[in-house]
Structures are given as structure tokens and as C-alpha cells.
């Protein structure tokens, strides 16, 4: 993002530290364990997983990594997940995405027991989210809500446009923002690759969320002057990390998330807070 911009930077680190303080307080009273299943050598995935492991250790959560070669079979992967589902010492688990092309992502994620699904991606948990009954939500969408609330950017009554309808970010975020809740009550437009005249919608957005997974894809001309822009993308280009939004967007936006240092820190913090929510739900059911 342009350093000359007067746009307000919405840094994720201060918000993440508040969340992690809550997690650490909970962990001081309860023993939690997070298990991470990692398949293959995908560079970004290895970076994300290393960060999750480090942050879990910092707050006192036991984190266990299960590595598999890229050619692992779906049967072998599901067998390990079933073992973790049955292990009482495992509070929650995640499968790091993306998976190699030969593995059926939906089938693998469906293998995770809903009550141990720390990413909130099991169909049962997404269904509860759609009904407004979920006890936890996917980490990145919830992190975005935490960010907006921290900086007192209210969604209520505002027009939020989300570019990207994936189940990791776009779809659950649209559900959350439309809920009758302190963080919601927004009018939400969900755009995607088949949306015609995309900028017709994005230029009307008070809050614009870009989650398309393409580096520097979204231009400044698609932004309403003064809008809040949340850039969910993170990509490595040479020795630097960049987002989905072009740097010139800083000249149009009123507030925006930097890359790196915006949404990223919140994803990990909210994942670990999800583990606390999982533990509370499991304790109530016993």
C-alpha cells in the first residue's frame, strides 16, 4: 500500500494481542491441544502452519503437527483424522488448505468431528452459522469482525460488498455480517467471478472486502472514495508479501488493512480462541 496515502491503517496486531490475552487467560485454567494436519510442501501453507504452531506455544496451547507427503491417499488421511476425532486429549483439529488436487477437499473436511472442527468448516457447523446458532465461526471471517469492531467501524445499516464467495471467507462472512447482532445488521452483496459489471457494486460499498486469492488483482477505480477496504489476500512476490488489492487503492480508501499486518494476525488468534470455545462446548456436553 502507498505510504503517501492518508488512509487510516487498520493494523491487525493490536486486535490479535487482545484476543490472545483472552486465550492465555483461559489456557491458564484449562489444558488445550490443537492438532494440525499438513499435506505436501505448499510454501504458503508451511508458513501459516509454522505461525500457528509458534503462537499456540506462546499462549500455552499444546500443538501437534501431523505431516503427510503430497501423494498420501484420501483413505490414509481420513484414517488419521478419525484417530484424532477419537483421542480425548485432542481439543480441536484443522486440515491446512489447500490440499493436493487428487484429494477430495469436501470429503476430507467432512471427516472432522463437528465438535473438534476448529476451523468451523464442517457442513454441520456452517449450517449452524447460517441459522445464527453457531458457537464458533471460521477464523478469518471472525477476525475481520473483530478488526472492524476494534476500530469502531460499524457494519449496521452500511452496505458491505464482499468479492469472493469461498467457504473459507466470503460465504461465512456474508452470513455473519447479515445477522441481527452487534457486529452485523449490514446489507451484504456477495460478488464473485460470474458477477457482471463488478465495479457497479463495489463502488457502492461503504465496506469492501476483497478475498479473491489473486495478487494485486483489485484496482483503485473499483473503490468508493472514503470506503473501508479489507484486503484478505496474502501472496509472496519475490521477497515481499502482497494482497489482493493494488497499492493505489490506498489513495481512494478512507481506511484499509495493510498486507502484511492486517487480517493475517487475526486469523491465527481467532483460530486459537475457537479452541477455547470448542473446549467450553465439550465441557458442557460431558
Structural domains in the chain, sorted by start: 29-113 (3.40.50.10860), 137-264 (3.40.50.720)
- Across the range 197-203, mean pLDDT stands at 98
Please state, in angstroms and rounded to a whole number, the distance separating the CA atoms of residues 119 and 113.
Answer: 11
96 is catalytic: yes
DSSP, collapsed to helix, strand or coil, labels residue 144 as: helix
Examine the pLDDT at 266 and tell me if it is beyond 90.
yes
Examine the pLDDT at 1 and tell me if it is beyond 60.
no
Examine the pLDDT at 286 and tell me if it is beyond 90.
no
Given the residues 119, 206, 231, 244, select the one marked as catalytic.
119
* Greatest pairwise CA separation for the chain in angstroms: 56
Cα radius of gyration rounded to whole Å, the chain: 19
Q: What is the pLDDT of residue 3?
A: 43
Q: Are the C-beta atoms of residues 258 and 11 closer than 8 Å to each other? A: yes
Q: Are the C-beta atoms of residues 199 and 224 closer than 8 Å to each other? A: no
119 is catalytic: yes
Burial classification of residue 144, based on how many CB atoms lie within 10 Å of its CB (0-12 exposed, 13-18 middle, 19 or more buried): buried
pLDDT digits (tens, 9 = 90+) for 79-113: 999 999 999 999 999 999 999 999 999 999 999 99
Mean pLDDT for the chain overall:
94
Q: What is the pLDDT of residue 247?
A: 92
Q: What is the pLDDT of residue 48?
A: 86
Which grid coordinates are listed for 64?
501437534
Examine the pLDDT at 19 and tell me if it is beyond 70.
yes
Q: Tell me the torsion sign for CA atoms 85, 105, 265, 80.
A: positive
pLDDT digits (tens, 9 = 90+) for 128-158: 999 999 999 999 999 999 999 999 999 999 9
52 is catalytic: yes
Q: Nearest CA to 223 among 212, 210, 234?
A: 210
Q: What is the pLDDT of residue 2?
A: 42
Please state, in angstroms and rounded to a whole number, the distance separating the CA atoms of residues 236 and 257.
Answer: 17
* Inter-residue long-range contacts of 82-91, CB under 8 Å, 24+ positions, other chains counted: 82/111, 84/35, 84/37, 84/116, 85/111, 85/112, 85/113, 85/116, 89/33, 90/33, 90/35, 90/64, 90/116, 91/32, 91/33, 91/34, 91/116, 91/118, 91/275, 91/278, 91/279, 91/282
Which grid coordinates are listed for 192?
464473485
- pLDDT-wise least confident of 66-70, 150-154, 168-172, 282-286: 282-286
Which grid coordinates are listed for 129?
452459522
pLDDT digits (tens, 9 = 90+) for 30-59: 999 999 999 999 887 888 899 999 999 999
Q: Whole-angstrom distance between the N-terminal and C-terminal Cα of the chain?
A: 49
Given the residues 55, 96, 206, 231, select the one marked as catalytic.
96
The string over 168-200, giving b where at least 16 C-beta atoms fall within 10 Å of a residue's C-beta and e elsewhere, is: bbbbbbbbbbbbeeebbebebbbbeeebeebee
Please state, in angstroms and rounded to a whole number, the distance separating the CA atoms of residues 112 and 44.
Answer: 23
Examine the pLDDT at 71 and tell me if it is beyond 80.
yes
pLDDT digits (tens, 9 = 90+) for 205-237: 999 999 999 999 999 999 999 999 999 998 888
Examine the pLDDT at 256 and tell me if it is beyond 70.
yes
Please state, in angstroms and rounded to a whole number, the distance separating the CA atoms of residues 227 and 220.
Answer: 11
- Across the range 236-262, mean pLDDT stands at 92
Q: What is the pLDDT of residue 47?
A: 83
Q: What is the pLDDT of residue 234?
A: 87
Given the residues 52, 231, 244, 246, select the one marked as catalytic.
52
Global model pTM greater than 0.75: yes
Amino acid at each position: 500500500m502507498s505510504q503517501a496515502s492518508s488512509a487510516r491503517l487498520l493494523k491487525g496486531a493490536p486486535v490479535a494481542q487482545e484476543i490472545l490475552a483472552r486465550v492465555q487467560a483461559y489456557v491458564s485454567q484449562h489444558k488445550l491441544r490443537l492438532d494440525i494436519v499438513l499435506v505436501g510442501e505448499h510454501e504458503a501453507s508451511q508458513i501459516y502452519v509454522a505461525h500457528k504452531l509458534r503462537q499456540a506455544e506462546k499462549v500455552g496451547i499444546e500443538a501437534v503437527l501431523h505431516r503427510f507427503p503430497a501423494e498420501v491417499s484420501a483413505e490414509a488421511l481420513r484414517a488419521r483424522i478419525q484417530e484424532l476425532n477419537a483421542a480425548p486429549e485432542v481439543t480441536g483439529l484443522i486440515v491446512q488448505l489447500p490440499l493436493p488436487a487428487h484429494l477430495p477437499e469436501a470429503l476430507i473436511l467432512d471427516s472432522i468431528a463437528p465438535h473438534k472442527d476448529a476451523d468451523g468448516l464442517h457442513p454441520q457447523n456452517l449450517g449452524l452459522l447460517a441459522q445464527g446458532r453457531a458457537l464458533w465461526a471460521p477464523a478469518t471471517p471472525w477476525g475481520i469482525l473483530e478488526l472492524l469492531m476494534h476500530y469502531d467501524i460499524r457494519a449496521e445499516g452500511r452496505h458491505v460488498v464482499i468479492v469472493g464467495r469461498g467457504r473459507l471467507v466470503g460465504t461465512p462472512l456474508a452470513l455473519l455480517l447479515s445477522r441481527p447482532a452487534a457486529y452485523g445488521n449490514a446489507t451484504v452483496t456477495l460478488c464473485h467471478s460470474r458477477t457482471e459489471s463488478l465495479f457497479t457494486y463495489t463502488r457502492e460499498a461503504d465496506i469492501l472486502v476483497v478475498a479473491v486469492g489473486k495478487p494485486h488483482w483489485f484496482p483503485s477505480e473499483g473503490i468508493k472514495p472514503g470506503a473501508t477496504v479489507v484486503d484478505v489476500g496474502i501472496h509472496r512476490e519475490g521477497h515481499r508479501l502482497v494482497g489482493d488489492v493494488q497499492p493505489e487503492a490506498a489513495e481512494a480508501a478512507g481506511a484499509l488493512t495493510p498486507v502484511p499486518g492486517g487480517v493475517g494476525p487475526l486469523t491465527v488468534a481467532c483460530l486459537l480462541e475457537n479452541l477455547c470455545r470448542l473446549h467450553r462446548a465439550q465441557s458442557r456436553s460431558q
